[in-house]
Amino acid sequence: MLPASNPKSTSRALGCIFLPFLLGGLFFLAVMVRLLIAAASTYTWEAVPCHIISSDVRGNDNPYHPWFAFLRYAAPGGESERNSRLFETYTEAIRYRRRWPAGSDATCYADPSNPAGALLERKGSQLYLSLFLPVPLIFILLGAAGFYGALRKQPAPLSLPRPSHPTAGRRIGAAVLILAGGILFAVFLRGPVRRAWNARSWQARECTVVSSGLLPHQTDEGGDTYTPAILYSYFADGREHRSDTYSFMSFAGGRSAAARIAGRYKAGAAATCYVNPADPDDAVLHPGPTLIWLIGLVPLAALAGGLALWPR
């Protein structure tokens, strides 16, 4: 005769399954709240004048962020300070650096707990973490509900409530598809499509390829995707500029596909680039659509699917 199983032991074992969800959710919630408080506190710091001593873009050995903007500035009551920020592309680093040109005056934000320390910009970029607060909250609720339910003496089997209206589920699914597809397709139209349309009037100029290689990007699965990293120089407004924008829609794929694009532009070779007359630092090698643009049809398909799914 088989020994009867202990329901309490079974409940405890089942509760241990949900415990990591609860503890993990609490841990990540605490980390996010701490970062948000630190970022929000910079908006209480006093604005003080400061002077930009030097400002330039430098390269480094980081394969995933090969460029960084290096700034040195001086604020009242403190020695000169440094601020450096890593970037994937040279163009992003240039756009960041030119916000604070060397020799210019700027506004810094003094830390009341450290009068000698000051920031060039508040930590507003970290406030986007607030958008992800529901994620740890979901894990906390899931872990707490599962842990509590497992420790109950005789937990009743869960039964999913049936919707009062048979079309409620379809409407929810359709609404999610319409909302997500509409937002993503609007971003696609406002981003690469709008820039490609405006680039029709950009000036074609001869440029020289400075370097040509691959930029790796780490994925969640632990592997890498690759983008062609083509740095080229050109003259506009009587001086030399550089850019590494290949297309208005970033390509990130397999190594061989990225290598084929980079292989068309050998270091030292001449090429044709298109320069924005309103911004000499804004240039592109391939202003028109590429095959990667087909990804922009995915949110359009989701939008159309949501409209078709909506109950009549």
The string of pLDDT tens digits covering residues 154-173 is: 455 545 455 555 576 667 77
What's the chain's Rg over C-alpha atoms?
27
Does some domain include residue 181? no
> How much is the mean pLDDT over the chain?
82
Q: 93, 121, 149: which is the final residue of a domain? A: 121
The stretch 123-150 carries a mean pLDDT of 77
Q: Residue-wise over 53-88: b if at least 16 C-beta within 10 A, else e?
A: eebebeeeeeeeebbbbbbbbebeebeebebebebb
Q: Contact, 143 vs 275, CB < 8 A?
A: no
- pLDDT above 50 for 89: yes
Q: How would residue 1 be classed by pLDDT, with cut points 50, 70 and 90?
A: very low
Condensed to tens digits (0 to 9), the pLDDT of residues 46-63 reads 898 999 999 999 998 888
Distance CA 79, CA 77 (A): 7
- pLDDT above 70 for 136: yes
DSSP string, 176-228: HHHHHHHHHHHHHIIIIIHHHHHGGGSEEEEEEEEEEEEEEEE-TTS-EEEEE
- Our count of domains for the chain comes to 2
Q: Contact, 117 vs 78, CB < 8 A?
A: yes
Does some domain include residue 293? no
Q: How would residue 207 be classed by pLDDT, with cut points 50, 70 and 90?
A: very high
pLDDT at position 166: 59
- DSSP SS3 for 175: helix
pLDDT at position 280: 92
What is the spatial order of strands in the sheet that 105-111 belongs to?
81-87, 67-74, 46-59, 105-111, 114-119
pLDDT at position 285: 94
The stretch 268-273 carries a mean pLDDT of 95
Does some domain include residue 185? no
Q: 101, 121, 141: which is the final residue of a domain? A: 121
Q: 121, 153, 181: which is the final residue of a domain? A: 121
Domain span including residue 52: 46-121
The CATH number for 116's domain is 2.40.50
Top-ranked range on mean pLDDT: pick from 89-93, 155-159, 168-172, 180-184? 89-93
Q: How would residue 18 be classed by pLDDT, with cut points 50, 70 and 90?
A: confident
pLDDT at position 78: 66
Does some domain include residue 69? yes
Q: Is 139 exposed, middle or buried (0-12, 13-18, 19+ CB in 10 A)?
A: buried
pTM of the model: 0.69
- pLDDT above 60 for 189: yes
Does some domain include residue 247? yes
Q: How would residue 122 be classed by pLDDT, with cut points 50, 70 and 90?
A: confident
The stretch 28-37 carries a mean pLDDT of 89
Q: How would residue 77 be classed by pLDDT, with cut points 50, 70 and 90?
A: low
Which residue would you say has higher pLDDT here, 227 or 124?
A: 227
Distance CA 255, CA 229 (A): 12
Does some domain include residue 312? no
**Which range among 8-17, 41-50, 270-279, 297-306 shows the weakest confidence by mean pLDDT?**
8-17
**Which range among 157-171, 202-216, 217-231 shows the weakest confidence by mean pLDDT?**
157-171
At residue 264, φ and ψ (nearest 5 deg) are -75, -15
pLDDT at position 11: 55
Q: How would residue 2 be classed by pLDDT, with cut points 50, 70 and 90?
A: very low
- pLDDT above 70 for 304: yes
Does some domain include residue 223? yes
Tally the residues of the chain. Answer: 312
